[in-house]
Amino acid sequence: MRALWTYLISGAVLLSVPGFSQVQESGSEEAAYQDAGILQQTQVTVRNILIKGNKKTKTYIVEREIMLKTGQSYTISDILAQIRTSRQNLMNTRLFVDATVDFTRWENDSLDIVVDVKERWYVFPVPYFRPVDRNWNVWINQYKVSMDRVNYGLKVQAANVTGRNDKVNVWLQDGYTKQYAFSYYNPFVDKKLVHGLGFDVAYSKTREINYTTRQNQQVFFKDEDGFVREQLYMGLVYSYRKGSIARHYVALGLFFDNVADTVLNLNPKFFNAASSNAIYPELRYRYQYLNVDYIPYPTNGYSVEFDFVKRGVSGTMNLWQFKLRAAKHFPLPWKMYYSLGGEAHLKLPFDQPYVNQPMLGYGDSYLRGMEYYVVDGVAGGFIRNTLRKEVLSVKLKTGLKSRTYGTIPFRFYTKIYGDMGFAYNKNNVTGNMLTNKFLYTGGFGLDILTIYDIVLRFEYSFNQLNEQAFFFHKNDF
């Protein structure tokens, strides 16, 4: 009952923010005019598509995302809709700080489309500093900001290398985990701009390894004098993207995984073998249908992502993994937005080694309010409900005489949310109270969006264990 009252009070605070009673935003009004009968009947022809601002990006890469085509006729209603979709496509390439699409020179029954893009800074040779733990909250609260649990080094991200939205990543990492990685991906290697190719090479070794889970906490083994795990991965990736919404990826790789003998003594089921060495192939397929206004922080549209993984071909490593993620985002009056989304996981056969059991609490698969726990499993998932309200949108002047960086935008959203989930595991259940149990959490918070797809999330969450805490999350650009 106490948790219920907390959620209700949080909702009242959110919805009482000044500005709640403002009129419905102009996007909905535009949609209403777009449906007017005269706009659905009047047709015009697109004479030209004029593109400017792309100094690095090839013109045909920009043109690929424009839904309108030269020489074709459309109703005014269709043109308004395709202009909005074209801008959405351009922003979702993550090539531009901003993009505008509009029509000009409407003469008789024809007009021009003008596209103006502001390109990003594409090369980032930046120092790398990050804790090794699952999230910042674990590092700060459980390990007291221990500098012994930090990775550091140099991370070079080069996007749009040849102007075709291709990417090069180089990691030179030292500290708690030594890692060296190089990858290259070109989404368009053919003239029709449909097929893509890339490759990954990564090598790492670490002094500590998570070898089991107790009381829904990761348990580690550490060797101060040597390394307890060494991994090498080499792989190729192929992509297929005919339109702007649906994307297909196929990756084929080979893993070399070596752990210290002590790890198998501590947990004989870490691998499904007596050997501390494992060599196995991995086939991965991903399908994405991303029909949303802004991929890093969607407020309108829906998305579906499906992942299939076949890892290993023998008793030592044999995993068939299926993951489905879906979300629907609803724009509401008064700059409010509701999102409903979730994930479903299935790993076959159910009798998996420990290394294949991570499910909830790892990466982006977690319940808000359960960040301090992990729940291993072979079947399960979660659902997230979020109600947001945009309370402030500002552009701060930088003082730079730059068309792109003269101002930096910030958008602020307050929110309330509630999550629920479940993870089934036939093994490693003893002492893990959250396994095979219905889980639920809730809370309220503040999201801040700014340049380069950076999203900062400040959340105060509650869970069914009568725990409450402040959590911070940040995405990587």
pLDDT digits (tens, 9 = 90+) for 66-113: 999 999 999 988 999 999 999 999 999 999 999 999 998 988 889 999
**Would you say residue 38 has pLDDT above 70?**
no
Average pLDDT of the residues in 17-36:
40
pLDDT band, very low/low/confident/very high, at 35 (cuts 50, 70, 90) = low
* Backbone φ/ψ region at 102: left (φ over 0), alpha (ψ -120 to 50), beta: beta
CA distance 65 to 68: 9
**Would you say residue 320 has pLDDT above 80?**
yes
Report phi then psi at 318, rounded to 5: -145, 95
Averaged pLDDT of the chain: 87
Answer for the pair 113, 76: CB distance below 8 angstroms, yes or no: no
**Which one is predicted more confidently, 310 or 130?**
310
108 Cβ neighbours under 8 A, 6+ residues apart: none
Average pLDDT of the residues in 303-316:
92
CA distances from 29 to 34, 79, 472 (A): 9, 16, 36
Percent of the chain residues past pLDDT 70, beyond the cut: 86
Supply the pLDDT for residue 179: 85
> In this predicted model, what pLDDT tens digit does every residue of 440-476 receive, in sequence order?
999 999 999 998 889 999 999 999 999 999 999 987 5
Supply the pLDDT for residue 146: 66
CA distances from 340 to 303, 386, 419, 471 (A): 11, 7, 10, 21
Here the tokens at position 83 are: 């202009």
> In this predicted model, what pLDDT tens digit does every residue of 336-358 receive, in sequence order?
999 999 999 999 999 999 999 99
Q: Which of 355, 151, 359 lies closest to 259, judged by CA?
A: 355
Q: 23: which DSSP letter?
A: P
> In this predicted model, what pLDDT tens digit does every residue of 169-206 receive, in sequence order?
998 877 667 889 999 999 999 999 999 999 999 999 98
Residue with tokens 């003893």: 430
**Would you say residue 410 has pLDDT above 90?**
yes
Answer for the pair 427, 358: CB distance below 8 angstroms, yes or no: no
If one looks up domain 36-119 in CATH, what number appears?
3.10.20.310
Among the residue ranges 7-16, 66-75, 253-262, 398-407, the one predicted with the least confidence is 7-16
CA distance 21 to 378: 46
Edge-to-edge strand order for the sheet containing 43-52? 73-75, 43-52, 110-119, 96-107
Supply the pLDDT for residue 476: 56
Report phi then psi at 144, rounded to 5: 55, 45
Supply the pLDDT for residue 148: 64
CA distance 115 to 50: 6
**Would you say residue 19 has pLDDT above 80?**
no
Average pLDDT of the residues in 130-148:
67
Residue with tokens 């998305």: 303
Supply the pLDDT for residue 394: 95
**Would you say residue 33 has pLDDT above 50?**
no
CA distance 93 to 118: 13
* Residue boundaries of the structural domains of the chain: 36-119, 187-381
CA distance 111 to 34: 17
CA dihedral angle for residue 153, residue 159, residue 162, residue 166, rounded to 10 degrees: 110
Model pTM?
0.85
Q: Which of 339, 392, 363 lies closest to 473, judged by CA?
A: 363
Supply the pLDDT for residue 400: 83
**Would you say residue 152 has pLDDT above 60?**
yes
**Would you say residue 287 has pLDDT above 90?**
yes
Supply the pLDDT for residue 316: 78
